[in-house]
Amino acid sequence: MATTKRLCWYVSLVSIIISMVVWNSKPYITESLSRNPVDITSNMSHVKNENNQSVLPILSKQEKKKEKYLVYLCDEKKACGGWGDRQRGIVSLFILSLVWKRTLKILISSPCDIKPYYKPTKEYNWIFTEEELKGLKGKRNTTLEFMHRCKPLYDTYNLNSSDIAEVLYIKTNCVSFLPIAQKYAKFLPAYLKNKGRASVFRESWNRIMIPTDKVLSEVMKIESSGVINSDAKKSGKELVCVHLRTYLTENLTYDCGGFPPVAVTKLWNFIDGHFHNKSRIFVATDHLGIRKSAISKYGTRYIGSYASNVHPDSMRSNLTLACRSQESAYVDQLMLSKCDVLIYYRKSGFSIHASYLKTEWRNIYSIMRNSKSTFSLVKEN
């Protein structure tokens, strides 16, 4: 009980901070319709083969000695948060690695290794090999933790000091990647300067994280399932995707401020009123009742998701379940980013990031709950 309560508290706090950041940063956001062309289907030519040492830059011994590392760590010791938290932590550390001139590495082993699902780009090879680790100072048992404390990470302690270990392990879900990019703009490449929150996230993420074929083939399978109606296709809004996070998992009755399940009919009415009646519908949710409602309402127009939705930090005891559930979270988020229309929930990092990654910055709607039974919906562009 205590654990779940704490989780609820942090979900709310993090979400409030996000909402504040999102709203506060609105006037500065410069979004364009054509987005970073690094799309999830982009080819593999710039991806390094993990086992192929020949594509590693050849460093002289001198250079190797000077190289310092910044490691995003998510292991079984303590919570790292959900996929949204992890993505924020990775992006924040990516930006700090550019500022502090450290090589970024990513170690996610809990509940399930990330490497079968995401792989690095050639530009930023974040896989830490045993070879690289050998002889480096800096131990995992000195991992610094910045969970729900972001400012100290980039503003209070001087982690740029030359005295700091060659390998700096950090566990964080830092929400402030935009303030970091703004504060240290002069140390950053042009693609991160004077950008809004969505652009900073997308430009960073797509430069480091490439979904593997295993994940992409699942996304493509869903994307091509069901019946694609040609009239619906002509409307440009053929595939309508929704992410509804309720935070109301089974037997969890107190309120974390998620989407109210009783309001779901109103959302279906909105979809009916705005999009083609033969469009396909994809709904990712943590609530079985909402899923059942969507399936019974849309029948064969419903193409998913069917994934179980379990918080990664609570699945560490069953690896089979954990890996399957992680994989479906990765698949669902990518799926959401590929739809013609995206309706996302403004209090979920998972959902917000799906909107940031959306290939085209259009037909994006956000929803926010007003009370235990109502919500409001805003067109974002």
Ligand X SMILES: *[C@@H]1O[C@H](CO)[C@@H](O)[C@H](O)[C@H]1NC(C)=O
Q: Which stretch binds ligand X (CB under 6 A): 138-146, 148-156, 207-215, 333-341?
A: 138-146
Other CB atoms within a 10 A radius of the CB of residue 33 amount to: 8
End-to-end CA distance of the chain: 41
Q: Tokens 């566990």, residue? A: 171
Q: Scanning residues 205 to 244, which ones bind ligand X (CB under 6 A)? A: none
Cα–chain center distance at 102: 23
Window 146 to 185, contacts with ligand X (CB under 6 A): 160, 184
CA atoms of 235 and 167, how far apart (whole Å): 52
Q: How far is the CB of 371 from ligand X (least distance, A)?
A: 26
Provide, rounded to whole angstroms, the least separation between the CB of residue 278 and ligand X.
7
Size of the site for ligand X (CB under 6 A): 20
**Considering only 74-82, 136-144, 206-214, 287-295, which stretch makes contact with ligand X by CB under 6 A?**
136-144
Residue 60 or residue 158: which is nearer to ligand X going by CB? Answer: 158
Q: E-assigned strands of 250-328?
A: 280-285
Tokens (6 digits) for 120: 């690095």
Number of alpha helices (DSSP H) and beta strands (DSSP E) in the chain: 13, 11
To ligand X, the closest distance from the beta carbon of 51 in angstroms equals 7
CB of 65 vs ligand X, minimal distance in Å: 17
Taking CA atoms, 93 is separated from 12, 141, 172, 360, in Å, by 23, 19, 9, 26
Point out which span in 42-50, 62-70, 188-196, 347-355 binds ligand X (CB under 6 A).
42-50
Q: Quote the least distance from Cβ 355 to ligand X, whole Å.
A: 25
The verdict on 253 binding ligand X (CB under 6 A) reads: no
Of 139, 119, 337, 98, nearest to 208 (Cα)? 119
CB of 43 to ligand X, least distance (A): 4
Q: Which is nearer to ligand X, 130 or 250 (CB)?
A: 250
136 binds ligand X (CB under 6 A): no
Contacting residue, 52, 60, 296, 371, with ligand X by CB under 6 A: 52
| Six token digits for residue 153 | 């990470």
Give dist(CA 293, CA 299) in Å, integer: 10
Other residues' Cβ atoms within 10 Å of the Cβ of residue 280: 26
Cβ at position 274, least distance to ligand X in Å: 13
Q: Do 354 and 342 meet the contact criterion of CB atoms below 8 Å apart? A: yes
Contact pick of 318, 374, 376, 381 for ligand X (by CB under 6 A): 318
Phi, psi at residue 70, to the nearest 5°? -120, 120
Give the residue, chosen from 55, 133, 227, 378, that forms a contact with ligand X under the rule CB under 6 A: 55
Per-residue mark of binding to ligand X, 89-128 (x: CB under 6 A): ----------x-----------------------------
187 near ligand X (CB under 6 A) = yes
Exposure of 362 in the CB half-sphere (CA atoms within 13 A) = 8
Does residue number 321 form part of the binding site for ligand X (CB under 6 A)? yes
List, in order, residues 6 or more apart from 302 with CB less than 8 Å away.
226, 280, 281, 282, 283, 294, 295
Residues that bind ligand X (CB under 6 A): 43, 45-46, 49, 52, 54-55, 99, 139, 141-142, 160, 184, 187, 250-251, 277, 318, 320-321
